[in-house]
Amino acid sequence: MKRRGWQMFVFLLFIGFIYAKIPKEYEEVEDHNNILFTVTEPYMLAYTYQMKHAFMLGTHFPDGINKTMKHMDMVLADPINGCDTLRNIIFVPTVILMERGGCSFTEKAIHGQKAGASVVMVTDSENIEYGPQQYYVNMIPDESLDRADIPCVFVASITGRYFRDHLEEGGSITLDLPVEKNHAPWVHHQKRAPWENWTEDRHFI
């Protein structure tokens, strides 16, 4: 009897540990373990940025020597929240930028994939935080547990605002993602975006 009780205790402890590891949807988290991407054009946005990879919502980025997806175009989702079938017609490798809210992250990811996007990027540019620390959101599947067949990421609110403003003014954005940290000071687009605050500010300053 004691053995059975001990086994039940270990089982419940294990379940509690697993549950604690599952991030809550809409939970705002600090920038630990974020990955990087760079904008190569236009020049005024050519910096390195952080993004939070939603590995539970979509696929992983490619591995190996060709893991960086280069010369990707960025477009705004139409509608911007990605909650309905998108009117975007995409034929080239593209990152599609969406706004948080209005529906689950799963719906956004699936709609982005069906429109032909290579990566779904979500932001919360309508709620910009100007505090000393940028926050990111854990994007997880809804109760359907559906997953997209493309990578899905979240970027800081202020970065999303810069991207959205530029695209809405008729500009274009080209980016590479993900990228490794690079300390070469002469490469302009490898510098940290000045409006993003990182935990390790010794990089890209």
**Residues in the chain, overall count:** 205
Q: Is residue 21 part of a domain?
A: no
Report how far residue 83's alpha carbon sits from residue 104's, in angstroms, rounded to the nearest whole number. Answer: 8
Tokens in use for 88? 């975007």
Q: Is residue 108 part of a domain?
A: yes
Handedness of CA 105, 138, 153, 129 (dihedral sign): positive
Q: Is residue 25 part of a domain?
A: no
> Which pLDDT tens digit goes with each residue over 106-131?
999 999 999 999 999 999 988 765 54
Q: Is residue 138 part of a domain?
A: yes
The answer for residues whose C-beta is within 8 angstroms of residue 63's C-beta and 6 or more apart is none
CATH number at residue 98: 3.50.30.30
Which amino acid belongs to residue 32? H
Q: Look at residue 82 in the predicted model and tell me its pLDDT.
A: 97
Q: Is residue 15 part of a domain?
A: no
Q: Is residue 23 part of a domain?
A: no
Three-state SS at 90: coil
pLDDT, the chain, mean: 81
Find how far residue 112's CA is from the centre of its chain. Answer: 13
Structural domain including 86 reads 33-195
Report how far residue 29's alpha carbon sits from residue 23's, in angstroms, rounded to the nearest whole number. Answer: 9
Q: Is residue 79 part of a domain?
A: yes
pLDDT at residue 190 greater than cutoff 90: no
Q: Is residue 159 part of a domain?
A: yes
Instruction: Say if CB 61 and CB 53 are below 8 A apart.
Output: yes
- Structurally, the chain folds into a number of domains equal to 1
**Whole-structure pTM value:** 0.78
Report how far residue 113's alpha carbon sits from residue 82's, in angstroms, rounded to the nearest whole number. Answer: 11
Instruction: Say if CB 74 and CB 174 are below 8 A apart.
Output: yes
